[in-house]
A and B are shown apart, each in its own frame.
Chain A
Amino acid sequence: MDDSMRRMVAEAYDETVAEAMAQGHPIETAHKEGVTAASMFLSSMTGVEDATARASVESLNLEPT
């Protein structure tokens, strides 16, 4: 994953976490949603398998800010 894609994946995570928390979801749920959305984004944009995309996102150790 190059820097540009890493930045966009992090944005997908951050945006989804913020939206989930704004809708009243607890931070753990928001984090899970963020990881899922970021994985879907990576999979959609690169064509990699879902499981591979999720592993790549999890390796970034993204956390709610």
Chain B
Amino acid sequence: MQPEDVTIRWTDELSVGIPSLDDDHKILVDLLNSTLVACYAGFGDEHVGIILEELFKYTQIHFNREMAILRISGYDQCEAHEAEHERIYHEVEVMANRARAEAEQGLSKEVAAFLRGWLFSHIMEHDRRYAAHLRSAHLG
């Protein structure tokens, strides 16, 4: 498995159509790619740990921003979206711990698929739902 096999390339398909949120998602993609490359390359635990910490921090910050925006804009699926955040955050933590543990041998396909998948799932399935709500709010 090569680094380009596990990293995510930003495309218009990932855009939710709101520039400020897209910019936030691009930062998440960059951090996730750094994590994946570090794990794949077999960097030491300390190095991988530093990058993972950045990923966790930014994920938390991003989720905070999203929830504030959604609550105040009157999004009717706030509770479900917040529950999804909690589920993702917990799963990312569990899987990232595994990624860190396996860093010396290179990242397993399972862990790589998960780390890529959670972001795609978060943006493309869940964030697109609220993006439509926000777009209608400012267009209406």
Decide if B126 is an interface residue (CB 8 Å cutoff): no
Q: Specify which chain B residues have a CB less than 8 angstroms from the CB of A28 in the assembled complex.
A: none
Q: What is the predominant secondary structure among interface residues of chain B facing chain A?
A: helix
Whether B64 and A44, one on each chain, are in contact in the complex, defined by CB atoms closer than 8 angstroms, is: no
18 pairs of residues in contact across A and B, judged by CB atoms under 8 Å: A11-B68, A11-B72, A16-B68, A19-B64, A19-B67, A20-B61, A20-B64, A23-B64, A40-B24, A41-B68, A41-B69, A41-B72, A41-B73, A44-B18, A44-B20, A45-B73, A47-B138, A50-B20
Whether A33 and B61, one on each chain, are in contact in the complex, defined by CB atoms closer than 8 angstroms, is: yes
Decide if B98 is an interface residue (CB 8 Å cutoff): no
Size category of the A interface is 20 to 34
Decide if A60 is an interface residue (CB 8 Å cutoff): no
Within the assembled complex, what's the spacing in Å between the Cα atoms of A41 and B66?
9
- Write the nearest CB–CB distance from B134 to chain A, whole angstroms: 5
Query: Given A45-B138, A47-B138, A53-B20 in contact, is the A8-B72 Cβ separation under 8 Å?
Result: yes
Q: Specify which chain B residues have a CB less than 8 angstroms from the CB of A43 in the assembled complex.
A: 18-20
Decide if B23 is an interface residue (CB 8 Å cutoff): yes
Q: Specify which chain B residues have a CB less than 8 angstroms from the CB of A12 in the assembled complex.
A: 68-69, 72
Whether A15 and B21, one on each chain, are in contact in the complex, defined by CB atoms closer than 8 angstroms, is: no
Q: Specify which chain A residues have a CB less than 8 angstroms from the CB of B124 in the assembled complex.
A: none
Within the assembled complex, what's the spacing in Å between the Cα atoms of A62 and B103?
44
Q: Find A33's partner among B65, B73, B134 (CB 8 Å cutoff).
A: B65
Decide if B90 is an interface residue (CB 8 Å cutoff): no
Residue with the highest number of chain A CB atoms closer than 10 Å, among B19, B65, B138: B65
Within 8 A of B (CB), among A24-64: 33, 36-37, 39-41, 43-47, 49-50, 53
